[in-house]
Chain A
Amino acid sequence: SLNCVEWSLLPPVTEEMVAQAEQLKGRFQGDPSFEYEYTEINAEDAERLFEDGKEPMIKEEARLVATIEQIDRAVGIVPRGAFVKTPLGSVHENRNFEGLSLMEAKKLSSYFHFTEPVNLKNKTLLEKADLDPSTDFLDSLEHDIPQGSWTVQPEKGGTVVVLRSLLWLGLTFYHVPMTKQYGYVYFGTGEKNFDLPFML
């Protein structure tokens, strides 16, 4: 939506949309039907694309939805314990979740990425023994590369904890300790911060 009154449905995202959108740089225009042309593509890629019969133009709405998917995948986080996994494998919300305690909320390890876990299998057996399979089935934040790509700040004297991602500047996650409230929003230009390693 452009004015919060009229909403239009975005197309569902596909992997190739994401791959295409990753190559685009620069700000969004604000017009969903704007079409981008590729500015830098190798000759090989161009040939490959032309062979498939597709044109190297991508619409802004595709780029938008691909960016949303990227952000969700990379930095969509939830507190530990908010979601549980049943022995059957399905994941659902934990109605019993009362929030993290203040001490836990300040640690990065109490937050998980809300996507398919990547690093879970790499942990040593010893660490795995400590995990609780119903709540610890996702990747924790403390192993994010590069180290320190999240800032944790207690605000208002500790009544709310705010995590900000430095990889996607503008992603803010909040949680009120000892309550069920948490959530994340993104306000920004929709561009990944590639300069992160230089800036830390």
Chain B
Amino acid sequence: MPDPKSRMLAIQNAKAYLLKSSTTSGLNLYDHLANMLTKILDEQPTNAVDIIENVSKDVKWAQFQKKMDTLRDEHEILPTFEAAEKCKALFLKANGEGDEELEEEIEETPLPNVMETAFYFEQAGIGLSKDESYHIFLALKKLISVQPIQTCRFWGKILGLEMNYIIAEVQYHEGEEEEETEEEEVIEEGRKGMGEVEEEDEDKEKEDQPPKSTYKPPPVIPKEENGTGANKYIYFVCNEPGKPWVKLPPVTPAQIVCARKIKKFFTGRLDAPVVSFPPFPGNEANYLRAQIARISADQISPIGFYQFAEEEGDEEEEGEGGGRDTYEENPDFQPLSVPEMVDSLSTWVHHVQSILEQGRCVWINPFQKSEQEEEEEEEDEEQEKAEEPDELQQEIGPPLLTPLSADEGIQNMPAWTAQPSTNLIPQYAVAILQSNRWPGAYAFASGKKFDNIYFGWGHKYSPENHTPALPPPVQAEYPSGPDVTEASDPTLEEELAFKAAREEALASAEEEEDEEDVEDDEEEDDD
């Protein structure tokens, strides 16, 4: 029977062919097909025919994996696990104390209700995930238990290159502030160093001493006291909830003025240097604080929520334009309805003092204090020049509690854009304001509640491209005067003419002298 025999032969040939090992991989098709079919029958995927190539690939891949694993994998510590460990600390309640703490907390807690605020902002589509908000909530609670804090607020989140910053705005109890290290001296010494270097560069021409540098650094504007003006609040930052809170140093006017001129991303490390021109006096912690101060100067509240405190007697401080710097909550606050809050910007006011050009909230005349600074400066001649008529105009910022409608817009846009959170359910809508000057700053108001928050990179919006300042021209080394300026040498004709003229003069002078000598001799003879 040839047919079955030849068929058997054909089958055997085919099987032998299938069993032939491949030269490159050492597998053979027969085994591979068998494995594939086994896998498919085990798993029973839908549309097996469509994914057959992928299955084949998986099987081949699986082959190699199993063969080479003779070592046991060390359990990788997943970073997830590590992060969870850190967060675990937040979730634990403080040991000891126990019941007493509970009673205290229920009465008056400086802890803000972060979840409530997050809910309102969520209505507008702004905010962090619930997980993160809750972690921040717990982190704030921890902060409060560690520091003597009177009021606390979640200020916002600033994004950075490597890590982000979570920022809390805090006010200490009165009288419990810590002493700050003196950073002003460091800055002054830096300036002095510059002056000395310039001295060395100057020509040591004919004088024994190098000429003294005429560089007078502009007077250092003293920073505002803790608790007032730009330093009204203290800020704590952390990179992630669960990491320890770091306190930011108070901000100096020089830092604010410089921060206005530069635009840099934050890296996420507080000790990173800020390389820029004009050189920023400080590292990233100072730059961060300066940006926070500028953004905070733009915080708003519904009109009427805050009112000026009752008369406290003399408010006239040095150089102040009669503005007031304190406010308190208005107990009779009547909230306006949401449509009113959204329609016009005059229903919102700034409740933070704006920062002047000088970098402070309260203007100060730097020359009046120059006497105190004399002790720290070296030379004595420079102080006399403090009387130079550099008349600084007294700067007055807009008074506190000015409505937003007075804010200047950018190009043809108002400074803030208002909209209700929903048009569909006006009874429960929340009024939301977005800042156009600081993209990322939002404020909401609903009934008696309101808050400000910031999520963003920490930069102001500018329709123009950022142009860094050019370095100033190199200072003239010495004042140009006739004795120093080069004059072209006289030409030969001029010299000859000059010589001839001088000889004539000499000749006539000699004649006169001779006559005088003769006269003198005669006189002596007479004596």
How many chain A residues have a CB neighbour from B under 8 Å? 25
Known: A96-B57, A151-B162. A157 touches B263 (CB 8 A): no
Known: A157-B79, A198-B468. A189 touches B264 (CB 8 A): no
Within 8 Å CB of B439, what residues of A?
188-189
Which of A69-77, A119-127, A158-166 is near enough to bind chain B?
A: A158-166
> Looking across the interface, which residue of chain B has its beta carbon closest to that of A200?
B265
Tell me whether B79 and A199 are in contact (CB under 8 A): no
Tell me whether A157 and B84 are in contact (CB under 8 A): yes
Within 8 Å CB of B475, what residues of A?
none
Known: A195-B466, A198-B466, A199-B263. A158 touches B80 (CB 8 A): yes
B131 CB within 8 Å of chain A: yes
Known: A95-B54, A198-B263. A151 touches B161 (CB 8 A): yes
A156 CB within 8 Å of chain B: yes
Partner of B264, one of A148, A188, A199: A199
A27 CB within 8 Å of chain B: yes
A-B contact pairs, 13 of them (CB 8 A): A26-B463, A27-B413, A96-B54, A148-B161, A151-B161, A156-B80, A158-B78, A158-B83, A166-B161, A169-B457, A195-B465, A198-B468, A199-B264
Determine which residue in B131, B413, B463, B466 has the highest number of CB atoms from chain A within 10 A of its CB, and name it. Answer: B466
Number of A-B contacts (CB under 8 A): 63
Tell me whether A159 and B54 are in contact (CB under 8 A): no
Within 8 Å CB of B436, what residues of A?
27
Q: Which of B141-180 contact A (CB under 8 A)?
A: 159-164
B14 CB within 8 Å of chain A: no
Q: Which of A147-200 contact B (CB under 8 A)?
A: 148, 151, 153-154, 156-159, 164, 166, 169, 188-189, 194-195, 198-200
> Looking across the interface, which residue of chain B has its beta carbon closest to that of A188?
B439
CB distance from A196 to the nearest CB of B (A): 9
How many chain B residues have a CB neighbour from A under 8 Å? 34
> Looking across the interface, which residue of chain A has its beta carbon closest to that of B53?
A96
Partner of A153, one of B54, B163, B413, B465: B163
B485 CB within 8 Å of chain A: no
Distance of A95 Cα from B53 Cα, bound (Å) = 11
> Looking across the interface, which residue of chain B has its beta carbon closest to that of A106?
B79
Within 8 Å CB of B459, what residues of A?
199
> Looking across the interface, which residue of chain A has its beta carbon closest to that of B242?
A157
Within 8 Å CB of B162, what residues of A?
151, 153
Within 8 Å CB of A143, what residues of B?
none
A25 CB within 8 Å of chain B: yes
Determine which residue in B51, B160, B161, B457 has the highest number of CB atoms from chain A within 10 A of its CB, and name it. Answer: B161
B411 CB within 8 Å of chain A: yes
A102 CB within 8 Å of chain B: yes
Distance of A47 Cα from B463 Cα, bound (Å) = 27
B81 CB within 8 Å of chain A: yes
Known: A151-B161, A157-B81. A25 touches B263 (CB 8 A): no
> Looking across the interface, which residue of chain B has its beta carbon closest to that of A148?
B161
CB distance from A29 to the nearest CB of B (A): 9
Partner of B82, one of A148, A157, A159, A200: A157
Within 8 Å CB of A153, what residues of B?
162-164
Distance of A2 Cα from B163 Cα, bound (Å) = 34
Distance of A200 Cα from B162 Cα, bound (Å) = 12
CB distance from B304 to the nearest CB of A (A): 30
Within 8 Å CB of B78, what residues of A?
102, 157-158
Distance of A95 Cα from B326 Cα, bound (Å) = 64
Determine which residue in A27, A95, A153, A157 has the highest number of CB atoms from chain B within 10 A of its CB, and name it. Answer: A157
Tell me whether A25 and B159 are in contact (CB under 8 A): no
> Looking across the interface, which residue of chain A has its beta carbon closest to that of B125?
A187
> Looking across the interface, which residue of chain A has its beta carbon closest to that of B83?
A157
Within 8 Å CB of B58, what residues of A?
96
Tell me whether A157 and B466 are in contact (CB under 8 A): no
CB distance from A200 to the nearest CB of B (A): 6
Distance of A166 Cα from B423 Cα, bound (Å) = 34
CB distance from A106 to the nearest CB of B (A): 10
Within 8 Å CB of B79, what residues of A?
102, 154, 157-158
Distance of A169 Cα from B461 Cα, bound (Å) = 12
Distance of A159 Cα from B465 Cα, bound (Å) = 37
Q: Which of A1-60 contact B (CB under 8 A)?
A: 3, 25-27
CB distance from A151 to the nearest CB of B (A): 5
